[in-house]
Amino acid sequence: SNELVFINFYAEWCHFSNLLAPVFDEAADLIKAKFPEPNRVVMGKVDCDAE
């Protein structure tokens, strides 16, 4: 039901996941401010080790 979904699949031990984390978090903040409407754009994270 969402128009656009971004999911960051990450692992705490992964160097590239750690490099992407602050970029993804900043993008999430910017997108939330620009598209505050529900179900427009959703960003989420999945810890691959936990799941």
CA 10 to CA 32: how far, in whole Å?
A: 21
Q: What pLDDT, on the 0 to 100 scale, is given for residue 16?
A: 98
Which residue is listed with tokens 């409407």? Answer: 37
Please give the helix or strand (H or E) that residue 13 lies within, else none.
none
**SS3 label, residue 25:** helix
Per the CB < 8 A criterion, the answer to whether 33 and 43 are in contact is: no
Task: Give the chain's domains with CATH numbers.
Answer: 4-47 (3.40.30.10)
Q: Name the pLDDT band for 14 (thresholds 50, 70, 90).
A: very high
Q: Name the pLDDT band for 33 (thresholds 50, 70, 90).
A: very high
Amino acid at 33: A
Reply yes or no on whether the pLDDT at 1 is more than 90: no
